[in-house]
Structure formats: C-alpha cells, structure tokens
Amino acid sequence: MEQYDIIIIGAGPGGLTAGIYAGRQGTRNLIIDRDLAGGIGREVPEMENYPGFDSVSGLELIEKMKEQATRNCELHEMEDVREIIKTDDEYRFTVKTNKDEYQTKTVILATGSSHRHLDANGEEEFKGKGVSYCATCDGFFFAGRDIIMVGGGNSALQEAIYLKNLGANVTLVHRRDEFRAQKHLQDMIKKEGIPTILNATVEEIKGSMLVESVVLKDTKTGELNELPVNGVFISVGYIPHTELAEQLGVELDESGHIIIDKEQKTNVDYVYAIGDVCVGLKQWVVACGEGAVAATSAYNDIKQDS
C-alpha cells in the first residue's frame, strides 16, 4: 500500500495549489479527484479579477495550475475516494478509492461543490435537452436562439454575458428584486442590453423532445406566465460535497459547510479543508490561498511529530 505525507482530495484551484506548496516543502503528496482536475472551475467562461490576468478562462488557468502541480506531486484524475478510515498508526488514515488504497499522515479535503438545481417540474426530464448548468459547455449550441439564465449572483451574470457574446438571445431571470452580483457585472448587463425579469421563479420547464417554454411565477402577485424559450441555463448556487467529512466526524455549520480555523484545520486532528466546501467567500483566489495555508499547516504538524 502506497504511503504519503499528505493526500489532497479534490483537484480544483485549492487542491492544486495545496499540491504545489506541499511538494515544494519536500513532503510526499497525492491529489485525487473523481473527475478531471479543475471541477466546476473548468466551466468559468471568463475571470477579470484573478491577479496577474486582465482576463482568463477557468479552463486555461486550470491547465496552467495542473502543469505546475504535477511537477510537485502525484495527480490521480478519474479516481473516486469512497472511504477514509482513521487508524492508530503513524499513517493515521487509510484512503480507499474505486481503484486502490493509500495510507497518509494527513488529509486535506478540497471536495468542492456541485450545481444546485431549481427542483422545477421538467428540470430533470430536459437535462441535456435544453436545460444546462454550464454555459461554456453548451452555450455554443444556442447561438441565435432564445434562452434564459436563471440566477442573480456573479456566476449567473458572467455566464449571461458569455452567452450573449456567443450570439444567444439571453434573458436573465432572478427571484429577487435586485441582483447579488458585483456592481461591475450589473453594469455590464446593462451595457450589453441583456433583458432581465426580476421577482420571478421558474415553476415548470415544458417541451416535447426539447425545451420549448418555461412557466414563470411572479413572486409578488403569484401570477403565472409562459415564456417561449429554446434553452434554460441555471446558476443558483452550489451544494458542498461533505460526505467524506461527515465520515470522519468533521464539524459542519448550519448551511452544511465545513468549519475551519485560520490554519484551515477542522475539529479532527490532521484533517484540513479548503475551497467551496468550507465556510467563507467562494472565490478562486480565496481557494488558492486556503490551499497554501492548509499545505503549510499539514507540513508543520508532520514536522512537529517527527
């Protein structure tokens, strides 16, 4: 059974950064991800607030980070961690995946999150048939077509702008009377002339083989209106992946996120957490910073025990 000083579960921005820092500290490290490195970060169409870049896509930045990380640690993509077992040995944890088993002295949880769904009628039925959670994945197919983007945060507005630039006729739909997104994104929505429907929720997605319309409900009056559309893009938040954390007895807050201290430590000794799975600001640069802190904390704890 292979043995490591640090195993990082999740290869998003935070996990890859943790791998870079851990490797440069001289420890033996492994990053495991059940998908491709980057996770939902690969879907970000354009960032204008990542230091050093006027504009960069999530996929481009992930590929650069992945190349750097693999010079400093092992990376196993498409390998799913099923269980983590605490032991009384020097290697305190046994990590079981769908492919192998590993032992490690410390664990960094960078398990990220997944797209939250609307739970509207027809949403599951038309997934991949006009319903999408990824503008960069599917936006190309909707050039010249009528679509809605559901959501009011940074991601929703960024993706609406991206879809407009692809040539889609996009309308923003948000359940509140104002957007939560940063002001410059709201200004760009106005500049691009993207129509908005506020105080509205999607009650039903309708069609035959593909999406043909949505039923919107006015949150103030309760009135229902049917809007013809060819596609529904959804960006209404994320659900943290905490299954492994709960196995280990890691403490969560009331929203289901992992509670960490300033050193990214959880309530379980030698278990650290970073990124979207944690309490805190959901930003790429924050996850990277947390990755650096967690790798350094794990290194210091290992050295203190030796």
Residues serving a catalytic function are: 134, 137-138
Nearest-angstrom CA–CA distance, 71 and 53: 23
Q: At what angle do helices 183-192 and 154-165 cross, to 10 degrees?
A: 30
CB distance 12 to 276 below 8 Å: yes
CB distance 93 to 7 below 8 Å: yes
- Which of 127, 132, 163, 112 lies closest to 234 in space, CA to CA? 132
Nearest-angstrom CA–CA distance, 271 and 263: 11
As given in the structure block, the two tokens for residue 104 are 């490690």
Nearest-angstrom CA–CA distance, 81 and 75: 13
End-to-end CA distance of the chain: 21
187-204: b or e for each residue (b if 16 or more CB lie within 10 Å)?
ebbeeeebebbbbbbbbe
Q: How many other C-beta atoms can be found within 10 angstroms of the C-beta atom of residue 82?
A: 15
Strand, coil or helix: what is 72? coil
Nearest-angstrom CA–CA distance, 215 and 225: 6
Q: Which residues lie closer than 8 Å to 237 by C-beta, 6 or more apart?
A: 116, 151, 153
